Amino acid sequence: MNHLLHILGVRKEFQQLFFANEYRTLAGRANAWVLLLSAILFLTLLALGFAIGGMKALSQRMDDPFTNWVDLQISRSVSDDDIRDIRRTFSAQAMKDSFLLKDVSEYVVWREQFVDVASGQLFYRKGRTVDLGGELLQKILDAKGGNVLGGTALPLADTAAALPPCGLVVTVQMLEGLGYEAPFSQKKIQMDLDGRRIYLDLIAVVKSLPNLCDFACSPHLFNLLTQPADETGFIAAEGSSNILRFLSGEGDEGKVAAWAGGQLGTAVFNNLKQSDYTLNERQPSYLYEAVLNDFLDETARTGLLGKLQAGAAFEVLPFVETSCNDQYGHIANPYYMAFNFGRLDRVRAFRQFMQERYGIEISMDQVEAKENFALVSRLTLFMAVVLFVFGVGSIVSFINSLLRTHLEKIKPNLGTFKAFGLSNGFLKNIYGKIVLFFLSLATVLAAAGVLLVFFIEKMLSGTGYLDVADYRLLGACAFILLAGLLLTQWTIRRTLLDSPGNLIYGREE
C-alpha cells in the first residue's frame, strides 16, 4: 500500500494516514462499494466488448464479397439487347456511384471431372469463373481475410498481376474429398479432359468460395476446358512422337531407367531424362521423358505406358503437356451478371431500377438479406452508443454520489481541518487521488473479469464476438476515468468553497 501511495505522491506520514482513513470510509465495509463499482464497470465493459466485436463481425460480413454481390441470372427472358444495354449503362462510373456499386462482372457456373487420387475414379465438382483483376478474387485471396489456407495469399493490389491464368482456386473440402492427404501444400491437381489426365496449377486452397462452388478459375481457363482442345491448342496434338512422358515419386533416375528398359525392351527404349515436377511441396515428384527408338502414335505410346505401370514398385502417372495460350479470355455466353455493392444501402433502389427499366425481377430474398445486414449493423452501432452513454452516466453518478454523501457527513471535520490551516488545495489534491485510486482499482478488477470471460469463451468455442483489444474499449476506460475525476473534482471544489465556520455548523450561504 505504501508503495502505491508513493506512486500517487502521498509521501508524508500524516498524508498517508489521512488517505488510508478516508479511502476505507469511501470503500465501505470489506470494500463493498469498490466491488459494486467493479461490477458496474464489468457489465459496462463486457457489453461494450460484445457490441464492438459484433460490429466488427458484421462489418466483415458486409465487406464479404459473398454477401455484397447480387446476381442476375441471364435466362431466356433477358434479351441480348437488354444485356448489352445493362453492360453499357453500368460501365459509366456515375451510374455505379448512384447505386454504391464497386464492380459489375459476368461469370458462369459449371461442372468438371476431377480424379480421385486414391481410387483413380472421376468425380464431378462444381466451379465458377472469377476475373483475375476483379474485386471478388481480390477479396477471396486477401491475406488479411483468413480465407486462404494454403498457396497464394496476396495484398489486394497485387492479385491480377501475380496469378497464372490457367490456375485454380479450390476449397480444402474438395481436395480432401478427392483423396489428397496434404491439401494445404498441394501445388497441382489432376483432372480429366477429353479422356486425358492433365495437371493444373493450384493458386490457393481456401475455406470457401461463392455460390457454394468447389473451385474457381479465370474465364480464360474456362474456355480452354470447355471448348475442343484441337481448336484451342490447350492439349497439343502430338501425333507420332518418340517421347513417352510420365510422372513418378521415385527420385532414383537409374532405378526408373532400369525398370523402363526391362519393361519396354532395348528395341523400344533408348534413354531417360529426369526433371523436377512439384505436385506437393511435402512429397517430391519428377517428370520423366523416355526417349524411344521409333516414332509411335498416341495409342501405341499409351500401350507402352500401361506396360510401365504394370507391376511397378513405384507410382507411374500419365502426363500430358498443356499450353495456356493467351487467347480465349472472354466468356461468350455468361450465365450470370454479378453486381458488387460497396455498401448495401442502395440495394432496393437498384432492384426497382432493374424492374422499371428492363422488366427484370431481382430476387427479394437477396435484397432483403442484404438490407438486413445493413440494418443490423446500424442497430448494433446505436446500441453500442446507448450502452456507452448509460454506462458512463451510471458509473460517474455512482462515484460522485458516493463522494458527495461522504463529504456531507464530514463537513464539520473539513471545517475543522481548514480552521487549523489545511488548505483547499491540499484537500482537493488528496481527495482527487483517493477517487483516482478508487476508480483505478475498480477498473482493474472489472478488466480482469472481462479477460476471464474472454478466455473462457475462447476455450469453449474457439472464436467469439467479445473484443477486448479494440482501441475504442480502451478509450472508453480512459473516458470513464477522466469523467469520474472531473466530476468529483467539481464536487470537492464546490464543497470546500464554504468557510470553516459554515462547514462546522452546517450553515448555508
CA angle (55, 59, 65) in 5-degree steps: 160
Q: How distant is the alpha carbon of residue 135 from its chain centre?
A: 15
- Listed in order, strand segments (DSSP E) in 320-477 are 336-341
Cβ-contact 227, 139 below 8 angstroms: no
Question: Pairing relation of β-strands 286-296 and 269-276?
Answer: antiparallel
Q: Which residues contact 284 (CB under 8 A, 6 or more apart)?
A: 249, 251, 276, 278
Residue range(s) in the chain whose domain bears CATH number 3.30.70.560: 241-318
The span from the CA of 190 to the CA of 354, in Å, is 42
Q: Any idea which residue has 459489375 for its cell?
A: 104
Q: What is the pLDDT of residues 220-262, one digit of tens each?
A: 999 999 988 878 888 876 678 888 899 999 999 989 888 888 8
Show the cell assigned to 347: 440495394
Question: Could you tell me the end-to-end alpha-carbon distance of the chain, in angstroms, rounded to an integer?
Answer: 40
Q: Any idea which residue has 478466455 for its cell?
A: 455
132-146, 211-225, 434-448 — which is least confidently predicted? 132-146
Query: What pLDDT shows up at residue 144?
Result: 77
Question: Pairing relation of β-strands 241-248 and 286-296?
Answer: antiparallel
The span from the CA of 432 to the CA of 430, in Å, is 5
Closest by alpha carbon to 504, among 404, 414, 424, 405? Answer: 414
The span from the CA of 246 to the CA of 254, in Å, is 15
Cβ-contact 293, 242 below 8 angstroms: yes
Residue 22 vs residue 89, higher pLDDT: 89
Backbone dihedral angles phi then psi of residue 460, each to the nearest 5 degrees: -80, -40
Residue 77 above 90 pLDDT?
A: no
The three-class DSSP label of residue 312 is: coil
Count of beta carbons in the 10 Å neighbourhood of residue 310: 9
Q: pTM of the entire structure?
A: 0.65
Cβ-contact 152, 163 below 8 angstroms: yes
Residue 18: pLDDT band with limits 50, 70, 90: confident
Helices (H), 2-134: 2-7, 13-27, 32-63, 80-89, 93-98
Q: What sign has the CA pseudo-torsion 195, 199, 202, 205?
A: positive
Angle between the N-to-C axes of helices 32-63 and 13-27, in degrees from 0 to 180, rounded to the nearest 10 = 70
Query: What pLDDT shows up at residue 226?
Result: 92
Q: What sign has the CA pseudo-torsion 350, 351, 356, 360?
A: positive
The three-class DSSP label of residue 499 is: coil
Q: What is the pLDDT of residues 285-311, one digit of tens each?
A: 999 998 888 888 888 888 888 888 887
Cβ-contact 178, 184 below 8 angstroms: no
Show the cell assigned to 439: 476508480
Give the CATH fold of the 241-318 domain: Alpha-Beta Plaits (3.30.70)
Q: What is the pLDDT of residues 477-500, one digit of tens each?
A: 888 888 888 888 888 888 777 777
166-180, 300-314, 347-361, 421-435 — which is least confidently predicted? 421-435
Query: What pLDDT shows up at residue 199?
Result: 94
Q: What is the pLDDT of residues 381-422, one digit of tens each?
A: 888 888 888 888 888 888 888 888 888 888 887 778 777 777
* Averaged pLDDT, 432-460: 85
Query: What pLDDT shows up at residue 4?
Result: 58
The three-class DSSP label of residue 108 is: coil
Q: How distant is the alpha carbon of residue 67 from its chain centre?
A: 13
Closest by alpha carbon to 245, among 195, 198, 313, 184? Answer: 198
| Max mean pLDDT range (68-77, 460-469, 495-504) | 68-77
> What average pLDDT does the chain have?
83
Show the cell assigned to 4: 502505491
In DSSP terms, which residues pair with 157 in a beta bridge?
Answer: none
Backbone dihedral angles phi then psi of residue 98, each to the nearest 5 degrees: -65, -25
Q: DSSP string covering 156-178, please?
A: GGGHHHHS-TTEEEEEHHHHHHT
Q: What is the pLDDT of residues 144-164, one digit of tens each?
A: 777 888 887 777 555 555 678
Q: Which residues contact 434 (CB under 8 A, 6 or more apart)?
A: 19, 22, 23, 26
Query: What pLDDT shows up at residue 509?
Result: 57
